[in-house]
A and B are shown apart, each in its own frame.
Chain A
Amino acid sequence: MRALEVGERALLLEFDGGEETRAFHAELLRRRAAGLLPAVREVVPAARTVLLDGVADPGRLAAEAAGWEVPPLDARTGPVVEVPVRYDGPDLAEVAALWGVAPAEVGRVHTAVEYRVAFCGFAPGFGYLTGLPERYGVPRRTTPRTAVPAGSVALAGPYTGVYPRSSPGGWQLVGTTRAVLWDPAREPAALLSPGLRVRFVEEGA
């Protein structure tokens, strides 16, 4: 782990890989829940970093965190969210071709693994989900769409994501969900928040 100070009140913790980042993020949440973390306004995980913003003494926290014993992420612990999906996206055939399977098989492959919300970004409630084996990674579309409908289940690089609302987007659309990803009037507002485990369940096949 490398700790970089960010201005006067923040700390960026950088890791070698995604798994290590996820494990450290889980440890941060555990310590925060147990009251073992000094006050932090924001804990923002990303691909290989966790940003701690609004920290009174970043240098001291960095020194402390360097000494933590962080257990590897246990795939079987933590709450699971199920997301019902109809695999009817406009890029289904293209993704099937990239994967070397029939279009009807995309759902079977995609639902066979368990995912974890690595981080959020792009729009409120848009989670970047990891878990799909590397060989199923797909490129972004060469031409992004100007409007991707809300609830679109999409793939790009190693990630799966679900568009919380209609927006422009360049990910490959494989399906749609009726789940509400983002509702500011709901608690929690985001269905998918960093650290959660996620299963996609095919419906109406």
Chain B
Amino acid sequence: MTDRALAVVRAGALTTMQDRGRPGYAHLGVPRSGALDPYAAALVNRLVGNDAGAAVLETTLTGCAVRPRCGVTVAVGGAPCPVTVDGRPVAWGAAVRVGPGAVLEVGAAVRGVRSYVAFAGGVAVGPVLGSRSTDLLSGLGPAPLADGAVLPLGAPPADAAHYEGVPWRGVPREVVLGVRLGPRDDWFTDGALRTLTTCAYRVSAASNRVGLRTEGPPLERARTGELPSEGMVLGAVQVPPDGRPVVFLADHPTTGGYPVVAVVREADLAAAAQAAPGTRVRFVRAR
């Protein structure tokens, strides 16, 4: 009898399954998707002995709770949060054994936004185009978790290499995003480019897996009119008509018609994804 599965006790505000996503299909209109904080997803996988690309749970602010039907090694990382098993506190950021039928409670994020939960063997929902990632923009991959849902788990790795003391990045109080201007910086005034790279913005509550929306001084256009839709990259800083920059995250559309004033360094995007609404964001020119 195959009992390698877990039941969802509390889905939380938004909990999705994520791996490395679906690169290579943008020309068909398929977003890349994948874990917004790929470093955290890779580390929790390592802690339970999985490949870095195994599917994990990605929570949003309020955590989640699951009840594995079998004994399984788990690890919770990313946004720091309290973790309990059947009500008893256990370690965050380390491998923890959960007995069959016990409830793993991933609490609300103390700082940051997204916690990651890895299970030895990974979440084994059927892949779509090679990935188990939930893509919220186009609806590909598994649906977000719902209370009572049952998710299959993969076979545990044969030699569960356990690591102690993996390095976790802190969640900074202010997020600094290195940008390179372009490709459409010429659509903005010099003043707007100075504003972007000198003024402080704040993370808007309207942010999601598609983009980090900001509040702050609007960027003034040097030209009017519409740009024909063009291909978009991860980290693109798109400026909609309201002038507030939006940083494209993993579920971003593959093409778009608002001008991209700059592009954020990929290495800085995990910090963007962990920036809670209200967090200060600064864009600095990186070369």
Contacts and interface: CB of A to CB of B under 8 A. Distances in A.
B266 A124 contact: no
Which range contains the number of B residues in contact with the other chain? Answer: 20 to 34
Interface string A36-80: 000001111111111101100000000000000000000000000
Nearest to A47: B228
B28 interface: yes
B228 A7 contact: no
B254 to A, nearest CB: 6
Contacts of A50: 231
Contacts of A100: none
21 contacts: A6-B182, A7-B264, A8-B180, A8-B266, A12-B230, A12-B231, A41-B23, A45-B231, A46-B255, A47-B228, A47-B229, A49-B230, A53-B233, A120-B254, A121-B29, A123-B29, A125-B28, A184-B128, A184-B140, A189-B129, A194-B27
Contacts of A163: none
Given A53-B26, A53-B231, A5 B180 contact: yes
Interface residues of A, number: 34
A46 to B, nearest CB: 4
Given A42-B27, A184-B128, A193-B27, A121 B229 contact: yes
Contact of A44 (B182, B183, B231): B231
A48 B29 contact: no
Interface of A: 4-10, 12, 41-51, 53-54, 119-126, 184, 189-190, 193-194
Contacts of A119: 27, 255
B254 A121 contact: yes
Given A44-B255, A121-B253, A121-B254, A12 B26 contact: no
B180 A7 contact: yes
A3 to B, nearest CB: 9
A189 B232 CA distance: 21
Given A4-B182, A6-B183, A194-B27, A123 B265 contact: no
A61 B273 CA distance: 31
B137 to A, nearest CB: 9
Contacts of B233: 6-7, 9-10, 51, 53
Given A5-B183, A42-B27, A124-B138, 15 more contacts: A4-B183, A7-B265, A8-B180, A8-B266, A43-B27, A46-B230, A49-B228, A119-B27, A120-B29, A121-B254, A123-B138, A124-B29, A184-B129, A184-B140, A190-B28
B260 interface: yes
B263 interface: yes
Interface of B: 23-30, 128-129, 138, 140, 180, 182-183, 228-233, 235-236, 253-255, 260, 263-266
Contacts of A123: 29, 138
Nearest to A188: B28
A42 B231 contact: yes
- B24, B138, B255: which has the most chain A beta carbons within 10 Å? B255
A44 B260 contact: no
A50 B254 CA distance: 12
B182 A5 contact: yes
Nearest to A45: B27
Contacts of A189: 25, 28, 129
A125 B263 CA distance: 26
B233 to A, nearest CB: 5
A14 B146 CA distance: 44
A123 B236 CA distance: 19
Contacts of B228: 46-49
Given A46-B255, A51-B230, A51-B231, A124 B28 contact: yes
Nearest to B185: A4
The 3 lowest CB-CB distance pairs between A and B, nearest first, are A51-B231, A7-B263, A44-B231
Contacts of B138: 123-124
A43 B254 CA distance: 11
A42 B255 contact: no
Nearest to A184: B128
Contacts of A53: 26, 231, 233
A121 B232 CA distance: 11
A8 B232 CA distance: 14
Contacts of B29: 120-126, 190
Given A46-B255, A121-B255, A54 B23 contact: yes
A125 B25 CA distance: 10
Contacts of A125: 28-29
A41 B266 contact: no
A6 B253 contact: no
